[in-house]
Amino acid sequence: MVVGLIVVWLLAAILTILVIRLPTNSNSPSQSQNAVAMQIQSNEHIAQLQRDHEQRLLKQQQSMQSNFTLELTKRAENFNEKQREEDRDWNQFNTELNRNLTATHHKKEFEFRETVELAAQRDMAQERQQHEWKLEQYRSQQINEHHRQEQFRQDEHDLDKFLDAYNLTSVSIPLLQRKVLSLLRRLDIPHKTLLIQILNDANLLRDNNADLPGRHISLVRANLNGIQLGSKDEIFCPSQYFDQLDLNYATLIGASFDCLSLRNTSFRSVNLTYASLTRSDLRDSRFAGAKLHNASFQEAQLDRGIFNLGSLLGANFRQTSLTNASLSLADAIETDFSEANLDAAVFFDSQLNRANFERANLRKANLESATLVHANFYQAKGAENSFRFTNITDAIFRQANVIQSDFYGAEGNRTDFSKAILDNSEFVNFKVEEAIFEDASMSRVSMQMAQLVRSNFRGALLDQSTLSFATFNESNFSNASLDDSILAAVHVYNSTFENASMNRVQLASGKLINCNFRRASFIEASFAMADLTESDFSESNLNESIFLLESQLNQVFSISKAVLPDGSIGKNKNLIRNGNPTCDESMTMNISQWTVPVQGSIIIVPQVHDGNCVFEATTSNITHLIQSVDVSHYVKRMMNADLTYVLLEADIITNNININLRFFNSTNNLIREGIHDLVVSF
């Protein structure tokens, strides 16, 4: 393409030269003809050159086309060759991959078959072992059954032989005693049971038998595990009588004495673990030192029973009668006495942690020095009970009725007496923390020298009670009633009596420090020598109260809106110094405690109608009285009680007066400001 442009450019140059050299003399014809001829020749020459150029261009194009075609062919051949190589490589890779996949598949299939075969072999082995184990079990059962039958036949033979060989009414008791104890060690449960029944029917087991004096077989230390003498399914109890047995130190694990009469039987130091004595008559029986873990005495009669030093862990005495029973020094942790009759029962110094006395009858029951941690007395009923020196931590007496009971010296934390009836009870030297007496009935109780911390008496009835010398710290008596109660020399700190009724209460020499008596009623109460420091009597009723001196009222935190002993309404002292200006000789200049920007702009003058003095401006210009008052003590106390407010009272005799209150924090930064207009009203 470039060559063609060069050729065209050369032709144009030649043509230009020829045109320039043409003669300009148009008067010579020959010259004109020569010029025309030359022109024609030049044009032919140019045309020839152009044709030659076009031919050369055509040849070049053909050559370039041929070269391009050859190049394309070569490239196509190279591409095809490369594609064929890639195809060969891919086919080879694919073949290798298929070969590997096939090998892997065969390997996995082999491993799977091997795994399945191994699993099948293991399953077969396990099934074979299980089958062999079952066969062994079956053979063992058959052998045991055979042995049991053999033993049964042998026991039956021995028992028959014993009965045939010995006349129970005439043979010597020592011989019978040895033979019976030997048989009891060897016989199975059914034959043990049968032997005991036979001996009982022959009146040989009853101790102190008047019909057969001296003929008595003792079962002391006998092995009677699992013996089944009674049945729970009997309609009427007792179904049989085994009274006055001597079973001391016997082993009776899992034994059944249900629905039997076992009155006056001795179970001293026996092992009755998991034994059942439900609905049985066990009156006057003795279980001292016995092991009664998880034994059941449900609905049994155990009046006058003795369980001293016994271990009753988890035993069931539900609905059992234990009137006058003795369980002193017993270990009765987690034992169930719910709905039991425990009239006059004794639990002196017993361990009764988590024991359940729910709805039990505790009339005159004695639990002195017992440990009652987490014990449950919910809705228990009783009177004249003794809880002296008990540990009642986390014990529950909710809704219990234990009037006239004695809690002298009892101690604990978090004991719940809510809604309990405790009238006429003794709480002398009572020491508890976080106890709950909410809505409890405690009329005429005695709490002398008691110490209670963070306890709740909200809504409790404590009328006519005696709390002399008691100490209450951080306790709550809101809405409680203490009418006619005696609180002489009582110490009460940081406690609340809001809305409490304390009419005619005796507070002589009491310390009532930092307490809340808001809206409490103290009608005719006696405050002789009482210390009321920092206590809040706002809106309380102190009408007709006696021995309440002005010096005592000056100690309190607030008497705002309280009804005072003379019937007047209480007001707290004015925190503004010289707020009521004093009339004296220098009164025109005596603006002490106030800051006046323009000296003499405000003076003190007397009023004509009453003689009292007031502040008066001496100029029509704006004047100021400024004073800073420290209310941090009051604000802190009132903020804790959500009672933050400021009461402003002023006698205004003219209009156009306002008060600007500005509040500063402890770092003297302004935190709030408000302007209050004061208008004269008639």
- The model's pLDDT over 12-33, given as tens digits with 9 standing for 90+, comes to 555 444 444 444 444 455 666 7
Longest CA span, the chain? 198
pLDDT tens digit string along 552-611?
A: 998 999 999 999 999 999 888 777 777 777 776 555 556 777 877 777 777 777 776 666
Please tell me whether residue 197 adopts helix, strand or coil conformation: helix
Q: What's the CATH code of the domain at 472?
A: 2.160.20.80
Q: How far apart are CA 204 and CA 216, in angstroms?
A: 5
User: Domain for residue 437, yes or no?
Assistant: yes
User: Domain for residue 180, yes or no?
Assistant: no
The answer to whether residues 496 and 624 belong to one domain is: no
Whether 373 and 353 have beta carbons less than 8 Å apart is answered as yes
Polymer length of the chain: 682
How many domains is the chain built from? 2
Whether 601 and 619 have beta carbons less than 8 Å apart is answered as yes
Q: How far apart are CA 614 and CA 582, in angstroms?
A: 9
Bridge pairing between strands 657-664 and 670-678: antiparallel
For the chain, what percent of residues have pLDDT higher than 70?
A: 84
Beta-carbon count within 10 A of 285 CB: 29
Q: How far apart are CA 307 and CA 322, in angstroms?
A: 11
Q: How far apart are CA 473 and CA 487, in angstroms?
A: 14
The answer to whether residues 654 and 512 belong to one domain is: no
User: Is residue 193 within a helix (H) or strand (E), and if so which, with residue range?
Assistant: helix 189-201
- Domain finish residue from 555, 573, 591: 573
User: Domain for residue 280, yes or no?
Assistant: no
The answer to whether residues 503 and 606 belong to one domain is: no
Beta-carbon count within 10 A of 492 CB: 25
User: Domain for residue 229, yes or no?
Assistant: no
The answer to whether residues 483 and 566 belong to one domain is: yes
Beta-carbon count within 10 A of 378 CB: 17
Domain that holds residue 531: 407-573
Q: Identify residue 159 by its one-letter amino acid code.
A: L
First vs last C-alpha separation in the chain: 120
User: Domain for residue 360, yes or no?
Assistant: no
The answer to whether residues 471 and 565 belong to one domain is: yes
* Residue, of 119 and 370, whose pLDDT is higher: 370
- Domain finish residue from 573, 588, 619: 573
Task: Extract the tokens encoding 155.
Answer: 């026991």
- Domain finish residue from 524, 554, 573: 573
The answer to whether residues 526 and 635 belong to one domain is: no
User: Domain for residue 566, yes or no?
Assistant: yes
pLDDT surpassing 80 at residue 165 = no
**H helix and E strand count, the chain:** 6, 14
Grade residue 10 by pLDDT with cuts at 50, 70 and 90: low
Query: Poorest-confidence range of 88-102, 198-212, 480-494, 634-648?
Result: 634-648
Q: How far apart are CA 648 and CA 92, in angstroms?
A: 105
Bridge pairing between strands 602-606 and 613-617: antiparallel
User: Domain for residue 596, yes or no?
Assistant: no
Of 278, 262, 184, give the one whose Cα is nearest residue 226.
184
pLDDT surpassing 80 at residue 199 = yes
Of 456, 191, 387, give the one whose Cα is nearest residue 199.
191
Whether 592 and 578 have beta carbons less than 8 Å apart is answered as yes
Highest mean pLDDT among 84-98, 159-173, 230-244, 391-405: 391-405
* Residue indicated by tokens 């050729």: 7
The answer to whether residues 415 and 559 belong to one domain is: yes
pLDDT tens digit string along 462-488?
A: 999 999 999 999 999 999 999 999 999
pLDDT tens digit string along 645-658?
A: 566 666 666 666 77
The answer to whether residues 631 and 673 belong to one domain is: yes
List CB contacts of 606: < 8 A, sequence separation 6 or more: 583, 587, 612, 613, 614
* Residue indicated by tokens 């006056």: 264
The answer to whether residues 451 and 525 belong to one domain is: yes
User: Is residue 39 within a helix (H) or strand (E), and if so which, with residue range?
Assistant: helix 29-165
Whether 267 and 248 have beta carbons less than 8 Å apart is answered as yes
User: Domain for residue 299, yes or no?
Assistant: no
The answer to whether residues 504 and 623 belong to one domain is: no
The predicted structure's pLDDT at residue 651: 63
Bridge pairing between strands 431-433 and 411-413: parallel
Whether 471 and 495 have beta carbons less than 8 Å apart is answered as no
Task: Extract the tokens encoding 595.
Answer: 């800051």
pLDDT tens digit string along 410-463?
A: 999 999 999 999 999 999 999 999 999 999 999 999 999 999 999 999 999 999
The answer to whether residues 527 and 426 belong to one domain is: yes
Q: What are phi and psi of 79, to 5 degrees?
A: -60, -45
The answer to whether residues 562 and 423 belong to one domain is: yes
Q: What are phi and psi of 446, to 5 degrees?
A: -115, 120
